[in-house]
Structure 1
Amino acid sequence: MVNILVLYYSRNGSTKAMAQHIARGVESVSGAEAMLRTVPKVSTVCEQTDDEIPESGSLYVTLDDLNQCGGLALGSPTHFGNMAAPLKYFIDNTTEVWFSGALSNKPAAVFTSTGSMHGGQETTLLSMMLPLFHQGMILLGLPSSEDALRETVTGGTPYGASHVNHGQHSLSKDEKTLCFALGARLATTAIKLKPS
C-alpha cells in the first residue's frame, strides 16, 4: 500500500471538507490509502499550548508522518494570498525531513479555500508549492482533461483544487469533483513512483 498524507489546516471547515474529498479520491485507487492530518492553531500567547491530541477531527501531523508517506496533499485556507500561519509554522519546522531527503522524488499536490472570488487562491497554492520544491517533491496540478476544470464557475485551478465560499461553506459539485480527481491523480502517481 502507498500511504498518501492529506495534511491541512481548516478554520471554518471548508478546507477540511476538501481534504476529505481528496482522501476519497486517494482511496478510489487500488493500492493507496489516505491519512488525514491537521496542525494545531498558532497561539499569540507564548505560554499557551494545545493538547497532544485534538478534541475532535484529524490527529495532529508528526514529522514521522511526513517521513513515512508516499505522497502529500497540502491544504490551507487563503489568508491574504498566502497559506495560514499554523500550516506555515509546521512546515518551517521540517528541516530534519529536508536534511534526510525523505520527501524527495515523491508526488505532492496543493489545495485551498477562500472567502471571495479574488481572495488569492492561486498565490496561496503557489506559496504552498515553494517548500515542497525545496523538499524535492514532484508537484502535480489538475490537467485540462478534467471537464470540471473547464466548466467550473466556482473553485478550481490548474495549480490545484480550490473552493470559493460564495456565502456558503459547502463545496460545489465541480469543487468536489476536482478534489476527488486531484486525490486520485496523486495516488496513481505515487504508485507509479514507488521504488520497487
Structure 2
Amino acid sequence: MAKILIIYYSRNGSTAKMARQIARGVESVTGAEAILRTVPEVSTVCEKVADSIPASGSPYATLQELEACDGLALGSPTHFGNMAASLKHFIDGTTAMWFSGALSGKPAGVFTATSSMHGGQESTLLSMMLPLMHHGMLMMSLPCNEIALRETISGGTPYGPSHLSETDSELTAHEKRLCWVLGERLAKTAQALKAKAL
C-alpha cells in the first residue's frame, strides 16, 4: 500500500477542497491510500498554537506521519506570494528528517489557492517546493500534455494545481481535474518507487 500524505493549511476552505480532490486522485489508483491532514493556526504573538485537536475537518499532521509516508502533497493559500506561516511553521520542524534523509527520494507535489488572478500562485508553489527539495524529495509537476492545464481560465500551473477563488470558492472542472491528476501521479510514482526498492 502506497500512503500519500496530503498536508494543507486552509483558512477559508479552498485549499481543503483541493486537498480532497487530490485525495480522490490518489485513491483512484489501486493499492494507494490518501491521508488528509492539516496544521494548526500559529499565533501572531508567540509560538503558541491552536488546540491539539481541530474543531472540524482533518486531524493535525504529525512528524511521524510525514516520516512514514510514501509520497507527499503540500498545500497552502497564497499569503503575499508565499506559503502561509502555519504551514511554514510545521515544515520548519522537520530538521531531524533532513539530517536522517527520511524524505529523500520520495515523490512530492504542491498546490495553492489565491483570491485574485495575479495573487502569486506560482511563487507560492515554488516557495513550498524549496524545503521539499532540500529534503531530497522528487518534485512532481503537472504534464504539459494535460488538456485541463491548457484550457483552464482560472487556476492551474505546470508547478502544481492552483485555484482562483475570487468571490466563488467552488473549484472549476479544470481545477478539480488538475488536483486529481497530481494525486494520481503521486500515487503511481510512489508505488513504482516502492516496487523498485523491494
Taking structure 1 as the reference length, the TM-score comes to 0.98
Q: Mapping of 1:1-196 within 5 angstroms? A: 1-46=1-46, 48-194=48-194, 195-196=197-198
CA gap 1:47/1:66 in 2 versus in 1, 3 angstroms? closer
SS at 1:83's partner residue? coil
Residue 47 to residue 116, structure 1, CA distance change in 2 (3 Å): closer
- Which shifted more, 14-23 or 36-45? 36-45
Q: Which amino acid aligns with 1:140?
A: M
- Equivalent position SS for 2:112: strand
Alpha-carbon spacing, 1:48–1:136, altered in 2? closer, same or farther (3 Å): closer
Paired residue type of 2:115: G
**In 1, Cα distance between the equivalents of 2:116 and 2:96?**
36
C-alpha contact (below 8 Å) 2:40/2:50 kept by paired residues: yes
Distance in 1 (alpha carbons) for counterparts of 2:42 and 2:93: 13
Offset of residue 166 of structure 1:
2.8
Q: CA deviation at 1:188?
A: 0.5
TM-score scaled by structure 2? 0.97
- The one-letter code of the counterpart of 1:17 is K
Q: Is the 8 A contact 1:74 1:128 kept in 2?
A: yes
Change (3 A) 1:124 1:49: closer
Question: Residue type of the partner of 2:14?
Answer: S
**Structure 1 SS opposite 2:76:** strand
1:53 shift after superposition = 1.1
Q: Distance in 2 between matches of 1:66 and 1:92?
A: 13
SS at structure 2 position matched to 1:130? helix
Q: In percent, how many aligned pairs have the same letter?
A: 67
**Structure 2: where are the runs of 5+ without partners?**
none
Displaced runs of 4 or more, over 6 A:
none
Q: CA 1:89–1:155 in structure 2 vs 1: closer, same or farther (change >3 Å)?
A: same
1:90-111 superposed Cα distances (whole Å, 9 cap, x missing partner): 1011101111111000000000
> What number of residue pairs does the alignment pair up?
196
